[in-house]
């Protein structure tokens, strides 16, 4: 239930940012739409809370559409197997190590720049959209981070600094996310391992 509240807060922030992204001519600075999959390639860290949400989404999908769920599982296992030799952590459990340099080197490898196993290769849609990680939920609009303002490179093309700042996503889920993360096992993983291994 608390995770549902967390998701609702993050989704509301995205909805607000989407409204602020509308230009005077009615078009949007955001490129995000079904079939736009630039952000669905590569690897990124997810929390154990994100992993648990994804796994719950898989359980629900197995009931609704076992064939689709099995296809995701097979893609996840294939990705995990392809990256096992270079994984910067425990390649059996999928838990990432704490070496930042090792993670950076891993994330920059050409072989990590493949489609997320949850991305339907035919439709370009996320097959576990309702269960997607928080990173996926807030990616696209401008967001404050340690380096300044980050956003999808396909969004706000040609926008002024003022227009970008106007569209900044106002995230309010951090405290609840930290609270819920403390209730989960420690560590981080990636989507392929979250869905490929039997237990994290």
Q: DSSP for 43-97, please give it.
A: ---EEHHHHHHHHHHHHHHHHH-HHHHHHHHHHHHHHHHHHGGG-SB-TTT--B-
Give the integer Cα–Cα distance in Å for 40 and 115. 6
Residues 13-41 pLDDT 10s: 999 999 999 999 999 999 998 889 999 99
Distances in Å between the Cα of 155 and the Cα atoms of 40, 52, 141, 151, 159 are 15, 30, 7, 7, 9
Structural domain span for residue 7: 2-196
Residues of the chain with pLDDT under 70: 198-200
Burial of 77 (0-12, 13-18, 19+ CB in 10 A): middle
Helices 66-83 and 48-64: crossing angle, nearest 10°? 140
Q: DSSP for 133-200, please give it.
A: -HHHHH-SS-EEETTEEE--TTSSTT--HHHHHHT------HHHHHHHHHTSPS-EE-HHHHHHSS--
Total of domains in the chain = 1
* Res 147: pLDDT: 77
* Res 1: pLDDT: 77
- C-beta of residue 3 within 8 angstroms of C-beta of residue 79: no
- Give the residues across from 89 on adjacent strands: 96
What is the Cα Rg of the chain in Å? 17
pTM for the full model? 0.91
Token duo for residue 18: 């989407």
- C-beta of residue 155 within 8 angstroms of C-beta of residue 181: no
Backbone CA torsion sign across 30, 33, 39, 44: positive
Residues 137-155 pLDDT 10s: 999 999 987 778 899 999 9
Residue 148 CA neighbour count, 13 Å, CB half? 4
């Amino acid at each position: 239930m608390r995770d549902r509240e967390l998701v609702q807060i993050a989704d509301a922030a995205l909805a607000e940012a989407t409204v602020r992204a509308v230009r005077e001519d009615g078009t949007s600075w955001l490129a995000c739409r079904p079939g736009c999959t630039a952000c669905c390639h590569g690897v990124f860290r997810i929390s154990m809370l994100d992993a648990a949400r994804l796994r719950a989404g898989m359980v629900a999908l197995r009931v609704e559409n076992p064939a689709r769920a099995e296809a995701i599982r097979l893609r996840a296992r294939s990705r995990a197997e392809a990256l096992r030799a270079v994984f910067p952590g425990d390649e059996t459990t999928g838990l990432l190590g704490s070496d930042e340099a090792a993670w950076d080197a891993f994330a920059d490898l050409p072989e990590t720049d493949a489609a997320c196993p949850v991305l339907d290769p035919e439709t370009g849609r996320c097959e576990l959209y309702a269960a997607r990680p928080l990173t996926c939920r807030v990616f696209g609009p401008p967001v404050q981070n340690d380096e300044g303002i980050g956003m999808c490179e396909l969004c706000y093309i040609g926008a002024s600094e003022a227009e970008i700042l106007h569209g900044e996503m106002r995230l309010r889920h951090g405290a609840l996310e930290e609270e819920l993360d403390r209730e989960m096992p420690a560590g981080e993983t990636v989507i392929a391992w979250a869905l490929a291994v039997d237990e994290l």
